[in-house]
Copies of this chain bind each other. A is one copy, B any other.
Amino acid sequence: MKTYIGIDLGGTNVRVAKITENGEVLAQVKGPSYGTEGPAKVMANLKAMVRELPGWKDCSGMGVGVPGPVNTAAGTMVLSTNLPGFAGYPFADELTKEFGMPAFLDNDANVAGLAEALVGAGKGLKTVFYVTISTGIGGVLVVNGETVSGKHGFGGEIANIIIDRNREKINYLNVGAVENEASGTAITRKGKAAFGDEIEHAGMVFEKAEAGDEKAVEIIEGMQKDLGQLFATIACVCDPDIFVIGGGMTKSADKFLPGVIAQYKAMSHTAVHDTPFVIAGLEEPGIIGAAMLPVSKGY
């Protein structure tokens, strides 16, 4: 069975693993990423960690998941808020030369979606859309086992989709951008506005809604409509075989997902009502998906 090296690189930590083509993690090394210390330090550390993996030389390729948009054709980061100095850095090329195997780079949400598409909930399906709902909202379209990252690596950057243009301007995102209206951060913000600083996280708004508080119910119903519209919009663009949903908010999925699906149906043609909404099930989608990058390119 073929094996691959998956690397999950964040601003604080990095994980490097040897993974089978079926997504099984055979060996793993974790450590600090030294993300703020610049590419030379980050790359030297990461290369040393790859060499610690037993049997790394037997692998058929490697992939790296990084935060933020990626130019997948060039194998470079487009923006590097959490990894200063990496915008435009020849990341994939350097790894290819260093280890003598094909190396690929993609956004961390994209690789999580790729993992779910290839060896998770979307396995065997042609068109998979992965949505992550946590403090932010992200996603990725996977077609024929390959992420659609697009011209600038912004494919699946659905946070900025406008679901209602008649809202307040919150930050640099569009007025009415779904991330500002339906993410965990948004629910917390709306909860604080309604109940004051007793609200520390979105889960507390869900609890109040469950207890029947009308203001909390209104917030959650608004979120459900906003997310339902997001999914309906995505379905108009690519009509996926499945929506796979990951991210921290899935902890409360039973409290909001049925309402989201009802709203999705209310805003969609009956023909697409049977599209399944499935909670992401892989335990390590970030690192497995990174290892799936060379798989998705035919290696």
Binding site for B on A (CB under 8 A): 69, 73, 78-79, 126-127, 141, 143-144, 146, 148-166, 174, 229, 232-242, 267-269, 271-272, 275
Contacts and interface: CB of A to CB of B under 8 A. Distances in A.
Contact of A272 (B152, B174, B238): B152
Nearest to A233: B161
Contacts of A146: 143-144
Given A141-B238, A143-B146, 15 more contacts: A73-B126, A150-B238, A151-B242, A152-B275, A154-B235, A154-B236, A154-B269, A157-B269, A159-B236, A160-B232, A160-B236, A162-B163, A162-B229, A162-B233, A174-B267
A125 to B, nearest CB: 8
Contact of A237 (B78, B141, B152, B166): B141
Contact of A232 (B141, B153, B162, B166): B162
A225 to B, nearest CB: 9
B158 A236 contact: yes
A255 to B, nearest CB: 24
Nearest to A148: B238
Contacts of A275: 151-152
A269 B150 CA distance: 14
Nearest to A242: B151
A153 B157 CA distance: 24
Given A174-B267, A268-B160, A272-B152, A165 B240 contact: no
Give the dominant DSSP class at A's interface. Answer: loop
A148 B127 contact: yes
16 contacts: A127-B155, A141-B237, A141-B238, A144-B146, A149-B239, A150-B239, A150-B241, A152-B239, A152-B272, A154-B239, A158-B237, A159-B236, A162-B229, A162-B232, A162-B233, A238-B238
Contacts of A237: 141, 155-156, 158, 161, 233-234, 237-238
A151 B241 contact: yes
Most B C-beta atoms less than 10 A away, residue of A144, A164, A174? A174
Nearest to A69: B271
Given A161-B233, A164-B165, A240 B151 contact: yes
Nearest to A160: B236
A228 B267 CA distance: 21
A236 to B, nearest CB: 5
Contacts of A268: 160
Contacts of A157: 236, 239, 269
A146 B144 CA distance: 10
Contacts of A152: 239, 271-272, 275
Nearest to A78: B271
B272 A154 contact: yes
